[in-house]
Amino acid sequence: MAHTYLLFDFGTDEEKAQLARHKLEGWKQAFRLDKKLQYKLERPEEAAAEPADEAEKSAAPPKAEKPKAKAKTKAKHKSKAHEDEGPEEEVALANGKVNLLVRLYFSGHEKLTEQRWLDRIPSEEPFKEASPRVIRQGEDQFDDVVKQFDALE
């Protein structure tokens, strides 16, 4: 099975990056692409390192309260997870550049499906303006992109 990476540079437009992330998440759920479509947001380390640490410190007290609230539904836990991401996203908005890395991982007999996704994703609205680049396995930059994708959380 071959990996294909799509790189999008949103510049300083955090709203478009979050809209793109939301659209990918919707596709992932709607088309059951759990392992086949994965994405990660990349923000420059030097700009986000200090404020991200502060966001983690402020997010620590709610984590300590989670064992007490085991009776809550999963939907409430998901909303708490999104609340934890909130401060970090606001910090990134102030700091600058946002890149989105998307990994497509289809097996050999799914070539048509992979090609459809490679055509669809860069042609959709939030992705069009982000200067999409497609990097396939075997290209020069492929190893660098794999390391970059694996290094992100």
* pLDDT tens per residue across span 69-80: 444 444 444 444
- Please determine, for residue 58, whether its predicted confidence score (pLDDT) is greater than 50: no
Reduced to 3 states (helix: H, G, I; strand: E, B; else coil), residue 10 is strand
Q: Return the pLDDT at 44.
A: 75
Ramachandran bin of 108, using left for φ above 0, alpha for ψ from -120 to 50, beta for the remaining angles: alpha
For the chain, what is the domain count?
Answer: 1
Residue 44 to residue 49: CA distance in whole angstroms: 8
In 107-150, which ranges are E strands? 133-136
The band of 99, judged by pLDDT with boundaries at 50, 70 and 90, is: very high
Q: Which is nearest to 98 in space by CA: 5, 7, 11? A: 11
* DSSP state letter for 139: S
Could you tell me how far CA 150 lies from the centroid of its own chain?
12
CA 46 to chain CA centroid, nearest Å: 19
Its domain, for residue 47, covers 2-151
Mean pLDDT for 124-132 is 93
Question: At 40, is the secondary structure helix, strand, or coil?
Answer: strand
Average pLDDT, the chain: 78
Q: What is the mean pLDDT of residues 114-139?
A: 95
